[in-house]
Amino acid sequence: MFLNVTQELLFGFLTTLEIFALTLVFALPIGLVISLGTMSKWRVLRYILHVIVWIIRGTPLMLQLIVIFYLPGMLGYSVWSGNESGRITATVVAFTINYACYFSVIFRGGIEGVPAGQREAGEVLGMTRRQIFFRVTLLQMIKRVVPPMSNEIITLVKDTSLARIIAAYELTFAGFSFMKSAGLVWPLFYTGVFYLAFVGVLTLVFNYIERRLSYFR
């Protein structure tokens, strides 16, 4: 029985990893673009992006997931297929939008935390704005955003369990399935082992990254 439960939880954990990885792949660059947009000289663009970030940060991720998955169908549009692939896609889209907005705030804080004098020094040396961003600002921004980003990314690991509300077969859903089918509660607690192990690995990775970036003072 233990092996059977472990196999099913591993299958659900693969879906959790898929949601986690795809969310990061899309949310990180989108978050950086949004952060640059919120600092744009175009007032209308800044206002629109600030409103979007405010809405996303001010509403629960669970509600956003429900809206993204069910609203198109309620309006008569077939956007997501009813199979597992469609549920995972909808989850990734909802998570990407949510975390891109949170990442954008962190990126903006990191960019604005770089002393203006360093950018001015780059201009004196004849560097273009693009060169200043990639050679001066970006490297120091990464150093500054690693600690808050690590917290958000670890939170993402746990938030993947929200995919269960639209019946995506992730880790927590797999644990609940044994409680419904066989009346077993311990598999649900067993899922905690997978989350703790994954978070432990991520913690070691982020600690290593912080040590490697310690040359920025």
In tens, the pLDDT along 62-77 reads: 999 999 999 998 888 8
The confidence score (pLDDT) of residue 73 equals 87
Cα–Cα distance measured from residue 86 to residue 79, given in angstroms and rounded to the nearest whole number: 8
217 pLDDT more than 60: no
In tens, the pLDDT along 183-206 reads: 889 998 999 999 999 999 999 999
Confidence band, pLDDT 50/70/90 cuts, at residue 210: confident
Confidence band, pLDDT 50/70/90 cuts, at residue 21: very high
The confidence score (pLDDT) of residue 142 equals 81
In tens, the pLDDT along 125-165 reads: 777 777 777 777 777 788 888 889 999 999 999 999 999 99
pTM metric for this prediction: 0.90
52 pLDDT more than 60: yes
The confidence score (pLDDT) of residue 111 equals 81
What is the dotted CATH code of the domain comprising 21-170?
Answer: 1.10.3720.10
Q: What percent of the chain has pLDDT over 70?
A: 95
Angle at Cα 164 formed by Cα 157 and Cα 19, nearest 5°? 40
Averaged pLDDT score across all residues of the chain: 89
The confidence score (pLDDT) of residue 216 equals 56
3-state secondary structure the chain: CHHHHHHHHHHHHHHHHHHHHHHHHHHHHHHHHHHHHHCCCCHHHHHHHHHHHHHHHHCCHHHHHHHHHHHHHHCCCCCCCCCHHHHHHHHHHHHHHHHHHHHHHHHHHHHHCCCHHHHHHHHHCCCCHHHHHHHHHHHHHHHHHHHHHHHHHHHHHHHHHHHHHHCCCCHHHHHHHHHHHHCCCHHHHHHHHHHHHHHHHHHHHHHHHHHHCCCCC
- Contact (CB, 8 A) for 93 and 85: no
The confidence score (pLDDT) of residue 11 equals 94
Confidence band, pLDDT 50/70/90 cuts, at residue 45: very high
